[in-house]
Amino acid sequence: MKWVSHVTLTGTIAYAITADPMCTAAAALGAVLPDKIEGTPASQGWSTWRSRHRGWSHWPVLYLALIGGLAQAKAYFFYDAAFFSVLTWLFIGALLHIAEDAVCGKVPGITPTQKVGIRLFSVGSFREYAFVLFCIVVVYAGQYILRI
Protein backbone atom coordinates (compact mmCIF):
# COMPACT_ATOMS: atom_id res chain seq x y z
CA MET A 1 0.00 0.00 0.00
CA LYS A 2 0.94 3.61 -0.43
CA TRP A 3 1.86 5.54 2.70
CA VAL A 4 -1.28 7.69 2.46
CA SER A 5 -3.39 4.52 2.58
CA HIS A 6 -1.48 3.16 5.58
CA VAL A 7 -1.78 6.41 7.53
CA THR A 8 -5.45 6.94 6.68
CA LEU A 9 -6.65 3.43 7.45
CA THR A 10 -4.49 2.94 10.55
CA GLY A 11 -5.42 6.37 11.91
CA THR A 12 -9.10 5.61 11.40
CA ILE A 13 -8.84 2.28 13.21
CA ALA A 14 -6.81 3.75 16.09
CA TYR A 15 -9.20 6.65 16.60
CA ALA A 16 -12.22 4.35 16.44
CA ILE A 17 -10.71 2.25 19.22
CA THR A 18 -9.18 4.93 21.44
CA ALA A 19 -10.83 8.29 20.61
CA ASP A 20 -7.45 9.67 21.69
CA PRO A 21 -5.69 12.02 19.25
CA MET A 22 -2.23 11.28 20.72
CA CYS A 23 -2.62 7.49 20.36
CA THR A 24 -4.07 8.01 16.88
CA ALA A 25 -1.07 10.11 15.87
CA ALA A 26 1.30 7.48 17.29
CA ALA A 27 -0.47 4.71 15.36
CA ALA A 28 -0.38 6.79 12.16
CA LEU A 29 3.35 7.32 12.66
CA GLY A 30 3.78 3.59 13.31
CA ALA A 31 1.88 2.92 10.09
CA VAL A 32 4.91 4.07 8.10
CA LEU A 33 7.59 2.80 10.50
CA PRO A 34 8.34 -0.53 8.76
CA ASP A 35 8.89 1.21 5.42
CA LYS A 36 10.88 4.06 6.99
CA ILE A 37 13.24 1.53 8.60
CA GLU A 38 14.03 0.13 5.14
CA GLY A 39 14.84 3.49 3.59
CA THR A 40 13.91 4.58 0.09
CA PRO A 41 14.81 3.26 -3.36
CA ALA A 42 16.57 6.55 -4.07
CA SER A 43 18.88 6.14 -1.07
CA GLN A 44 20.16 2.67 -1.99
CA GLY A 45 19.14 1.85 -5.54
CA TRP A 46 15.95 0.18 -6.72
CA SER A 47 17.23 -3.41 -6.88
CA THR A 48 18.89 -3.29 -3.45
CA TRP A 49 15.82 -1.71 -1.86
CA ARG A 50 13.45 -4.13 -3.59
CA SER A 51 15.43 -7.16 -2.41
CA ARG A 52 15.12 -5.97 1.20
CA HIS A 53 11.54 -4.65 1.02
CA ARG A 54 9.10 -6.37 3.36
CA GLY A 55 11.93 -8.14 5.17
CA TRP A 56 12.69 -8.12 8.89
CA SER A 57 11.14 -4.65 9.33
CA HIS A 58 7.80 -6.20 8.35
CA TRP A 59 8.11 -9.17 10.73
CA PRO A 60 5.10 -8.96 13.11
CA VAL A 61 6.80 -11.00 15.85
CA LEU A 62 9.28 -8.14 16.32
CA TYR A 63 6.52 -5.63 17.11
CA LEU A 64 4.60 -8.10 19.26
CA ALA A 65 7.78 -8.66 21.28
CA LEU A 66 8.25 -4.90 21.66
CA ILE A 67 4.66 -4.52 22.90
CA GLY A 68 5.22 -7.39 25.33
CA GLY A 69 8.46 -5.80 26.48
CA LEU A 70 6.64 -2.53 27.14
CA ALA A 71 4.05 -4.37 29.22
CA GLN A 72 6.85 -5.90 31.31
CA ALA A 73 8.86 -2.66 31.50
CA LYS A 74 6.03 -0.96 33.38
CA ALA A 75 6.96 -3.03 36.42
CA TYR A 76 10.66 -2.18 36.36
CA PHE A 77 10.94 1.40 35.11
CA PHE A 78 9.13 4.66 35.71
CA TYR A 79 5.50 4.43 34.76
CA ASP A 80 3.83 7.15 32.78
CA ALA A 81 0.56 5.87 31.30
CA ALA A 82 0.62 8.33 28.40
CA PHE A 83 4.20 7.44 27.43
CA PHE A 84 3.56 3.69 27.44
CA SER A 85 0.25 4.13 25.63
CA VAL A 86 1.85 6.18 22.85
CA LEU A 87 4.70 3.67 22.41
CA THR A 88 2.25 0.77 22.39
CA TRP A 89 0.15 2.45 19.70
CA LEU A 90 3.27 3.20 17.67
CA PHE A 91 3.96 -0.54 17.51
CA ILE A 92 0.28 -1.37 16.93
CA GLY A 93 0.45 1.01 13.95
CA ALA A 94 3.41 -0.98 12.61
CA LEU A 95 1.41 -4.22 13.06
CA LEU A 96 -1.51 -2.72 11.17
CA HIS A 97 0.90 -1.67 8.40
CA ILE A 98 2.04 -5.28 8.08
CA ALA A 99 -1.55 -6.56 8.00
CA GLU A 100 -2.39 -3.98 5.34
CA ASP A 101 0.63 -5.00 3.26
CA ALA A 102 -0.45 -8.64 3.55
CA VAL A 103 -3.52 -7.92 1.39
CA CYS A 104 -1.43 -6.55 -1.48
CA GLY A 105 1.54 -8.90 -1.37
CA LYS A 106 3.54 -11.14 0.91
CA VAL A 107 5.03 -10.27 4.29
CA PRO A 108 7.00 -12.32 6.83
CA GLY A 109 4.94 -14.71 8.94
CA ILE A 110 6.01 -16.61 12.05
CA THR A 111 9.62 -16.57 10.88
CA PRO A 112 11.24 -13.68 9.02
CA THR A 113 11.89 -15.86 5.97
CA GLN A 114 8.38 -17.32 5.72
CA LYS A 115 6.18 -15.14 3.48
CA VAL A 116 2.40 -15.03 3.79
CA GLY A 117 -0.27 -12.88 2.19
CA ILE A 118 -2.59 -12.43 -0.75
CA ARG A 119 -2.68 -9.93 -3.58
CA LEU A 120 -6.11 -8.34 -3.75
CA PHE A 121 -4.80 -5.32 -5.64
CA SER A 122 -1.66 -3.62 -6.90
CA VAL A 123 -0.02 -0.86 -4.89
CA GLY A 124 -1.29 2.56 -5.95
CA SER A 125 -4.20 1.18 -7.97
CA PHE A 126 -7.81 2.33 -7.86
CA ARG A 127 -8.63 -0.97 -6.12
CA GLU A 128 -6.24 -0.06 -3.27
CA TYR A 129 -8.07 3.18 -2.58
CA ALA A 130 -11.47 1.48 -2.92
CA PHE A 131 -10.32 -1.17 -0.41
CA VAL A 132 -9.18 1.52 2.06
CA LEU A 133 -12.47 3.39 1.67
CA PHE A 134 -14.43 0.16 2.18
CA CYS A 135 -12.45 -0.62 5.36
CA ILE A 136 -13.05 2.89 6.72
CA VAL A 137 -16.79 2.54 6.07
CA VAL A 138 -16.76 -0.83 7.87
CA VAL A 139 -14.96 0.70 10.88
CA TYR A 140 -17.45 3.55 11.16
CA ALA A 141 -20.44 1.28 10.53
CA GLY A 142 -19.17 -1.01 13.26
CA GLN A 143 -18.92 1.92 15.66
CA TYR A 144 -22.41 3.06 14.77
CA ILE A 145 -23.84 -0.42 15.34
CA LEU A 146 -22.05 -0.80 18.67
CA ARG A 147 -23.49 2.51 19.92
CA ILE A 148 -27.09 1.56 19.16
The reported pLDDT for the residue numbered 43 is 65
Tell me the mean pLDDT in the region 48-66: 81
pLDDT at position 132: 97
Nearest to 54 by CA among 11, 94, 26, 8: 94
Own/partner long-range contacts of 60-66 (Cβ < 8 Å, ≥24 apart): 60/95, 60/98, 60/107, 60/108, 60/109, 61/110, 61/112, 63/91, 63/92, 63/94, 63/95, 63/98, 64/95, 66/91
Please report, for the chain, the start and end positions of each structural domain, with discontinuous segments joined by +. Answer: 3-147
Distance in angstroms (rounded) separating the CA atoms of residues 90 and 79 = 17
Mean pLDDT, the chain, rounded, equals 89
What's the pLDDT score for residue 48? 61
| 40-44, 101-105, 110-114, 124-128: least confidently modelled range | 40-44
Helix/strand/coil for 78 = coil
| CA angle 30–53–23, rounded 5-degree value | 5
Q: What is the pLDDT of residues 112-132, one digit of tens each?
A: 889 999 999 999 999 999 999
